[in-house]
Structure 1
Amino acid sequence: MAIKSKNKFQKTKNEKVMVCSGGRYESQANAQIREAIISGWESVFGEGNVISTNIAGAAAAIEYIKPKIVFSIGSYLPESTYFGEVCHRAKKFGAITIFWATEDPYEQDANYRIIDDFDVIFSCDRWGTNFYNHPHTHFLPLAACEKLHYRPIDETIEKTVDVMFCGVAFGSRKDVMRSIKPALTNLKVKIIGPGWGEFGIGFSDARIEKDQLIELYQRSKIVLNLGRSLHFENKRYMIMPSNPGPRTFEASAAGAMQLFHEDNYAIHDFYERDEVPVFSTRYDFQQQLDKYLNDPDLLLETAKKAQARTLRDHLYNNRIQTVMEILKNDGFLD
């Protein structure tokens, strides 16, 4: 059973939050994150008090909605994504303006587009917070959404896949896969995402929907977690990601047993080793495969521990509670 977060903050009647994002260039992944973030805000302000707007119409909507908080999310890179007008209108009506950079650290060279407009900036990357010249910059990792990602662990489902991974075949991921591929020989593998087809049997260039992915989690014994390294506008400092991406939390919420490639990701700030085990080398990987594939009970126990941790500490409900605490500590809320 899912663990509910206690709401520490009592809102005033009719206070509203406006979540502003994307426009026509918003990716499917960011659209799903937006839906999950809205669910987190609803846990604090209640359904009906959280309004999602497209950036193209957000400034005009503020006068009608009169939100207490304007919470902008996503990418600030596209030239068509200009948040300045939204912030100016929000401040005219006394709203707190917040930006959550959910694409950090890959767009850091362009952060000048937001630092002068928002009251508070949150970065989804811990190290990335050091590169904003802004007095109210804070770390806020991404998370899972109970409504979208949680599935009870069903022990009756047959696990027909030994090792699976879903995600784009970025160069860094290909390097890891080439290293560990010999250990996958004679195993039932399912590696899915654009760019993987060239690796041969068990690898596919297909894209799948969220519900299909969650079903695959449930049918897989081990889910690989390989971080990405793709720099859109990150050439000045070449900041490497310093904490897990959202799929780490989403997969655990869905009941997956993950094997995490530990590079410079601070996975242990979020999960214990008996919740999300790690590997760094081909030797580590082989050792972990032998350990878990030969012990179904340990596989199940590990997945249950990771799911429990996620439902307790790593839902968007938790992240929004953190936002509210920071707004209070920084003097934006009484």
Structure 2
Amino acid sequence: MPFRIVLTSSILSHPLNKHILSAMASAARNLGPNCELHVMPTGYVLEPGSLDGTDLLVFLGSLSDATNAVEQMPGLARRAGAASVFWSTEDPYERDFAWRAREFDYFLSNDGTSTKLALEREDVHHLPLGGSYEQDFRPMKAYDAHGIDIFFCGAPYQNRQIFVEDMRAAEIEAMQPLTLHLAGAQWKTLGQEAIDLDLTHTMLQDLYARSRFVLYLHRSLMIANERQKLVSTTPGPRLFEAALAGTVQICEFVSFEIEDYFSPETEIRLVQSGQEGYDAARDIAADPERWRAMALAAQRRAIAEHCYEHRLLKLLEYVTPRHLSKEAHVEMQRHVEAVTNKRLAALDG
């Protein structure tokens, strides 16, 4: 019998995040016939018999929404004979709500620092989000085929406003400027020129693929992080998604942890201000071959290490051998390696 995973989540209602669930379901098929993953609305998980035959219940998302009944789920899983995993996507911003997941057998955090400081329980592991080859990959274009110079999509948190204003000032002073394009209605309310569209994830990936450079900026918003006041150190999924789209990313430096995922200078560029980011983009733009090499290297790294097949394998490694046999995990790993090698061979042409 295949190892049956039920995935439920609080992000089903988020237009730019709900694609992650279908991405994981698609990725699970590449783990081979010994694994099957079913996406189930949280309300349905609470129905009698909904978890019959399930080996692992995974809740992905936020702990701040008191209406998602997350605290009932570990008990429901146990009664069905299944293990339970809470996979947080909002650490450290909601760190003070971690108590709501205390009954889950495993706690996975999207954030490295939050993982290290989660001393209140056992079986805590670090697992970032990733990207989807099927949804996010775009064939590489020549430098001149990109219609957008520099692009950023994201909410205007205070740190991002400072970075953008600094970059705008650098753009005004440049003799032959690269133009920064923003996406999001909230930027317009701040007096910034921005694309005001109700973007889907596919539209966003297409915009990344049309951009020579994409900004990756961290967020300074804190929802419930008063006790430890942690700073996020692990990049979010946009870093991996944009890499798969075939662009060069200018990344705001927050922590050296980002170097665990992409190499500075050869795969991404790390900067500490809008001025430095603008100068970096102009420097790379002066050499289209260098630009192409960086974009291709980042895309290759994302395919090789940062797709949801790799994330699911890691998740299952954490529950092996207590809930999954080592032999079954090794077999799934073989399937993922074969799929990954095929994708890399196609990239190399």
TM-score, with normalisation over the residues of structure 2?
0.84
Matches within 5 A, 1:249-264: 249-264=240-255
- Structure 2: gaps of 5 or more residues: 326-349
Counterpart-to-counterpart distance in 1, 2:305 and 2:158: 31
For residue 277 of structure 1, the aligned residue among 269, 285, 296 is: 269
The match for 1:70 among 57, 74, 77 is: 57
Superposition TM-score, scaled by structure 1 size: 0.88
Query: 1:313 is matched with which residue?
Result: 305
User: What letter matches 1:138 in structure 2?
Assistant: H
Counterpart residue number, 2:107? 121
Asked if 1:188 corresponds to 2:176, the answer is no
Offset from partner CA, 1:185-219 (integer Å, 9 cap, x none): 23332111232225656434444222222222222
Report the Cα distance in structure 2 between the residues aligned to 1:201 and 1:300, rounded to whole angstroms: 30
Alignment of 1:1-334 (within 5 A): 13-22=1-10, 26-44=13-31, 46=33, 49-60=36-47, 62-63=49-50, 65-115=52-102, 117-129=103-115, 130-131=117-118, 133-155=120-142, 158-185=145-172, 186-197=177-188, 202-264=193-255, 266-273=257-264, 274-328=266-320, 331-334=322-325
**Alignment CA distance shift 1:46-1:197 (3 Å):** farther
- Displacement of 1:317 in angstroms is 0.5
Which range is displaced more, 83-92 or 61-70? Answer: 61-70
Secondary structure at 1:88's aligned position in 2? helix
SS in 2 for 1:317: helix
Contact 1:87 1:97 in 2 (8 A): yes
CA distance in 2, matches of 1:157, 1:71: 44
Contact 2:91 2:109 in 1 (8 A): yes
Deviations 1:203-260 (A, max 9, x none): 3444422222222222211111111121111222221111111000000011121111
Alignment CA distance shift 1:171-1:46 (3 Å): farther
Deviation, structure 1 residue 23: 7.8
- Any idea what SS the aligned residue of 1:142 has? coil
Tell me which amino acid in the other structure corresponds to 1:28: P
CA RMSD after TM alignment: 2.3
Q: Tell me which residue corresponds to 1:10.
A: none
Deviation at 1:283, TM superposition (A): 4.9
Q: Percent identity?
A: 25
Asked whether the equivalents of residues 7 and 38 of structure 2 are also in contact (C-alpha less than 8 Å), the reply is yes
Gaps of 5+ in 1: 1-12
Partners of 2:181 and 2:282 in 1: CA distance: 18
Structure 1 residues 322 and 46: alpha-carbon distance in aligned structure 2, compared to 1, 3 A threshold: same
State the Cα distance separating 1:15 from its structure 2 match. 3.1
Q: Distance in 1 between matches of 2:5 and 2:124?
A: 20
Contact 1:170 1:229 (8 Å CA) reproduced: yes
Moved more, 217-226 or 184-193: 184-193
The 1:62/1:308 distance shift into structure 2, 3 A limit, reads farther
Shift of the 256–46 alpha-carbon distance from structure 1 to 2, 3 Å rule, reads farther
SS at match of 1:164: strand
